[in-house]
Amino acid sequence: MTNMIEASGLVKRYKEVTALAGLDLVVPEGVVLGLLGPNGAGKTTAVSILSTLLEPDEGQAMVAGADVRKDPKAVRRLIGLSGQYAAVDEHLTGFENLDMIGRLYHLGKTKSRERARELLEVFDLTEAGDRPVKTYSGGMRRRLDLAGALVAKPPVLFLDEPSSGLDPRSRVDLWDTIRDLVKEGATLLLTTQYLEEADQLADDIVVIDHGHEIAHGTADELKTQVGGERIEVTVADVMHVTPAEEVLAAFAVGDIRIDHHSRGLTAPIAGGAPVLTQALRELDARGIVVQDVGLRRPTLDDVFLSLTGHVAEEEVESNGGRSKKPKEEELEEVSR
C-alpha cells in the first residue's frame, strides 16, 4: 500500500506559541486517519500545512506523491479540503458554488456543471440547489461544503472538524455521508475534537496535544492501552450476590465492587467478550439468575483523560463555548 500522506517533523511556530512541535503523520491509501485533540492542539495547523495553506517552519510533507513545499500546485490538484466553517458563498446558489469550484479545478464548463448537479443529488441538495445558500440550514451548508471538497474527485481529502457546530442528528447524517465516501476508496484525514467521531469514522487515530503526538493506534488499541475494561452484573436475588462474587473473582484482575442495595457487581477484567461469555456460563452453572449483564469498555473519553490529564471537550460545551466559532476558541487557546 502506498502512503498518500507522509509528514515528518512538522514544526510551526507563531510569535509566542509553538502550534506544531514535530508532528509525524503517515496515512496509507484508502485509510481514514483521525487526528484527535483538544482546542489548540495543532490540528488545524497540521491540516493547513498539508493542504498548502500554510508553510511549515520545519519538516517535510508529501501528499499524494507531491511535496507540499516544492510543488504546492500539484498538491492542490489532488486534494479536497473542507474546513471548520462552511466555506461557501452564501449569495450564490448551491449549484453556482459547486460549478465555480469545478471551473477553478479546470474541469471545463460542461463537466463542472454535470459534476455540480451530480453532487447536489448525492448530498440530497437537489431541491435546494438553485436557491441562494443563505437560505440553507447549518447542516445543508456543511454538506455543500463537503460536496465542494469532492468536486474534482480528489484522491486525498482533508476534513477539518467537519461536524463542529452541527446538531446531533445532522452530525449522524454527516457521518453516514463520510462513510459512503470512504467506501469509494478516498484517503481521508479527519480532525476532530469529538472523541465519538474519531471512534465512528477513523481506522487509525493519532491523538495530539500541544503540537505533538501523544498516542497512536486504532480506537480499540487506544482503549486497551488505557485498560479499564469491566464486567457489570446485576443478579436477580440478593442471596446470589456472594456466590456471584465468588464466580467473578476467578476472572477479575482487581477488586470487585459490590452494591448490595442494587444487587450489582462490577469486576475489572482483561480479555473482553470471551471472558464475559465464560463468566456467564459459570454463573449459569451455579444456578445464579442474572438480571442484567454488560461488558463496559473504556470510551475514548477515558482514553483522552488518561493521556492528556484533561477532559477533551466537556468544559467547552458546558460553558456554552459552542456558540463561538471553533477557530476563535482555537486561537484563544494558542495565544494563551
Partner 1 sequence: MSQLMTALGDGAVVAKRNVIKIKRVPEILVFVLLSPIMFVLLFAFVFGGAIDVATGAPPEVYREFLIAGILAQTVIFGATFTGAGLADDMQKGIIDRFRSLPMARSAVLVGRTSSDVIYNGISVAIMALTGLLVGWAIRTSFLEAALGFGLLLLFAYAFSWVMAYVGLLVPSVEVINNASFMVIFPITFVSNAFVPLETLPAPLQTFAEWNPVSSLTQAVRELFGNIPPGAPEPTAWPLQNPIVYTLIWIIIIMVIFVPISIRQYRRAARR
Residues that bind partner 1 (CB under 8 A): 48, 51-54, 73, 76-77, 79, 81, 83-92, 96, 100-101, 103-106, 132, 148, 327, 331
The nearest distance, CB 294 to partner 1, in angstroms, is: 44
Residue 112 grid coordinates: 463542472
- Which residue's CB is nearer to partner 1, number 81 or number 198? 81
The nearest distance, CB 31 to partner 1, in angstroms, is: 21
The nearest distance, CB 123 to partner 1, in angstroms, is: 16
Cell 470471551 sits at which residue? Answer: 274
If you write DSSP's letter for every residue of 219-283 in order, what string do you get? HHHHHHHH---EEEEEESSGGGHHHHHHHHHTT-SSPPEEETTTTEEEEE-SS-HHHHHHHHHHH
- Which residue's CB is nearer to partner 1, number 95 or number 304? 95
The nearest distance, CB 78 to partner 1, in angstroms, is: 9
- Which residue's CB is nearer to partner 1, number 58 or number 90? 90
- Which residue's CB is nearer to partner 1, number 59 or number 80? 80
- Computed on alpha carbons and rounded to an integer, the radius of gyration of the chain in Å comes to 24
d(CA 203, CA 56): 26
- Which residue's CB is nearer to partner 1, number 105 or number 194? 105
- Beta-carbon count within 10 A of 287 CB: 8
- Which residue's CB is nearer to partner 1, number 148 or number 298? 148
d(CA 55, CA 244): 61
Q: How far apart are the first and last CA of the chain?
A: 41
The nearest distance, CB 272 to partner 1, in angstroms, is: 42
Kindly give the pairing relationship between strand 32-36 and strand 187-192.
parallel
Q: How far is CA 208 from CA 61, 112, 176, 245, 304, in A?
A: 18, 38, 25, 40, 10
The nearest distance, CB 109 to partner 1, in angstroms, is: 10
